[in-house]
Amino acid sequence: MKFKFSKWHGLGNDFVIVNGLTEKIDNYQQMAIEVCDRHFGVGADGLVVLLPSDIADFQMRIFNSDGSEAEMCGNVTRCMARFVYDSGLTTKTKITLETKAGIIKPELLFIDGVLDTIRVDMGQPRLKRCEIPMKGNESEKVINELLVVKQADYHITCVSMGNPHCILFVEDLENTNLSVIGPMIETHDTFPKKINVEFVQVMSKQKLRMRVWERGAGITMACGTGACATLVAAVLNGVADRLAIVELDGGELLIEWGLDNHIYMSGPATEVFRGEYL
Ligand code: ZDP
């Protein structure tokens, strides 16, 4: 089953994007595993399929490199907004995108006719334990709460951006072992849908350094929903302003927690190449 695809990234978080309006794929989960393989496939953190929508301009479905489907994503949203504009599927610079976690609104911002950045209204953060989801008292928030894993203490703050995030503040990020702690928390049984894990070092109230262990993908260069969740967690813990830079391995995102309680994420999106998967 042949299909055309485009290869995109948002700060090194890379995706195979398929225009499902014209290209047919039978089994998305299986194809995600195949096409994301960095040796036997194209190589990517995820497969993203553009589809028609009854409630928005377009719909997108996001599959991690392990085949699992995610409800929401940040870096892909910026890539998709540019993809539909550059490929003439729309002339709109501000679109609505249906995801499993609701509608998000990316906008292409130009300066003197040149694309400057892509700003996305990511919706409202969800803070109740049942919304993460996390086991325990449904309506409680999870802020700087103790989680013991294999006799080690971790203080966690949990935020859903439509997909689940667990944030840990650390003193020394460079010497924090994501490959050991990440999967232990991702798969901890207190998180019924597993969880993305962000490790954050506070540089100042306007700058947060973050590395991420993604659910269903492992260490990636950047995570947009993770950066949004990180800013929310930092504000809830009193260590950041509502507008701050989140510095990731792949570059910087500007994140704002608006007074309308919506999270706004601004950053780039880059197309690398196009091809046909045979
Ligand atoms: O929630 C999840 O399973 C994530 N691994 C989905 C991918 C999130 C993404 N990296 C982002 O930028 O938010 C695309």
Verify whether residue 73 is a known catalytic residue: yes
Confirm whether pTM is higher than 0.95: yes
> Closest residue (by CA) to atom 7 of ligand 1?
73
Q: Ligand 1 within 6 A of 217 CB?
A: yes
> Closest residue (by CA) to atom 14 of ligand 1?
73
Structure confidence by residue, pLDDT tens digits, 42-72? 999 999 999 999 999 999 999 999 999 999 9
Query: Residue 138: what pLDDT?
Result: 86
Q: Which of 36, 166, 223, 228 is catalytic?
A: 223
Q: Ligand 1 within 6 A of 182 CB?
A: no
Residue 101's SS3 state is coil
Q: Which of 36, 73, 158, 228 is catalytic?
A: 73
Average of per-residue pLDDT values in the chain: 97
DSSP state at residue 169: E
Phi-psi category of 102—alpha, beta or left, where left has phi over 0 and alpha has psi -120 to 50? left
> Closest residue (by CA) to atom 10 of ligand 1?
223
Structure confidence by residue, pLDDT tens digits, 145-203? 999 999 999 999 999 999 999 999 999 999 999 999 999 999 999 999 999 999 999 99
Q: Ligand 1 within 6 A of 64 CB?
A: yes
Helix (H) or strand (E) run with residue 108 in it: strand 102-111
Q: Would you say 263 and 124 are in contact if contact means Cβ atoms under 8 Å apart?
A: yes
For range 89-96, the mean pLDDT: 98
DSSP state at residue 131: G
Q: What is the DSSP string of 216-242?
A: TTEEES--HHHHHHHHHHHHHTTSS-S
Percentage above 90 pLDDT, the chain: 99
Q: Ligand 1 within 6 A of 230 CB?
A: no
In the numeric block, the tokens 């919506």 are attached to 262
Structure confidence by residue, pLDDT tens digits, 95-132? 999 999 999 999 999 999 999 999 999 999 999 999 99
Q: Residue 139 — pLDDT band, cuts 50, 70, 90? A: confident
pLDDT at 1 over 90: no
Structure confidence by residue, pLDDT tens digits, 7-17? 999 999 999 99
Q: Ligand 1 within 6 A of 160 CB?
A: no
DSSP state at residue 95: -
Amino acid code (one letter) for 266: S
Verify whether residue 36 is a known catalytic residue: no
Q: Ligand 1 mean position to 196 CA, how many Å?
A: 8
